[in-house]
């Protein structure tokens, strides 16, 4: 996708966030030195992630019922694999977990962001490229990060 098209799409998605995304955004937003800064509906290459913390290269995806089909899970794994190949840690949380225990989900995301931010600069992965790699075949299922909350 062209860069201006993906940026326009990300802006539109910010205006139509799902309820669990809005709930989680209410806990992740904010700009202070004691809190990692997150962006919402952030484009990375041709992928738009629900939330992204640039200081620690953490992408957070909120999965609703539409992610439960085999085809959707395969697409999610492919996206996660590509993002991870760009040096980005990907964490997926279910919409049900956000509804069930927003405080715990947000706390674990913020804790992970703080932990990743504390890594020495030499251990941080390289910056993402803006081109998509062509990975052959389905990526391994282990490429999906979990926060230890039920899906």
Structural domain for 78, as ranges: 3-135
**Digit-coded pLDDT (tens) for 53-108:** 999 999 999 988 777 778 888 888 999 999 999 999 999 999 999 999 999 999 99
Is position 70 within any domain?
yes
**CATH code for the domain in which residue 125 is found:** 3.40.960.10
Overall number of domains in the chain: 1
Classify 73 as helix, strand or coil: helix
The pLDDT assigned to 65 comes to: 76
**Strand boundaries in 45-122, DSSP class E:** 47-53, 58-63, 89-94
User: Of 39, 48, 62, 63, which Cα lies nearest the Cα of 8?
Assistant: 48
The pLDDT assigned to 68 comes to: 72
Q: Give the whole-angstrom CA distance, residue 52 versus residue 39.
A: 5
pLDDT(118) > 80: yes
Is position 146 within any domain?
no
Is position 21 within any domain?
yes
Is position 98 within any domain?
yes
The percent of residues above 90 in pLDDT, for the chain, comes to: 47
Is position 143 within any domain?
no
């Amino acid at each position: 996708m062209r860069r201006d098209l993906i940026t326009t799409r990300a802006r539109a998605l910010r205006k139509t966030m799902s309820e669990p995304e809005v709930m989680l955004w209410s806990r992740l937003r904010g700009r202070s030195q004691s809190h990692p800064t997150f962006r919402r509906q952030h484009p990375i290459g041709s992928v738009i992630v629900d939330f992204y913390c640039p200081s620690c290269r953490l992408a957070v995806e909120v999965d609703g019922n539409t992610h439960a089909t085999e085809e959707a899970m395969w697409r999610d794994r492919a996206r996660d694999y590509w993002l991870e190949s760009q040096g980005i840690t990907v964490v997926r949380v279910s919409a049900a977990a956000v509804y069930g225990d927003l405080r715990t989900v947000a706390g674990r995301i913020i804790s992970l962001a703080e932990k990743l931010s504390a890594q020495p600069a030499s251990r941080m992965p390289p910056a993402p490229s803006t081109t998509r790699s062509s990975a052959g075949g389905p990526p391994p299922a282990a490429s999906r990060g979990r926060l230890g909350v039920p899906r």
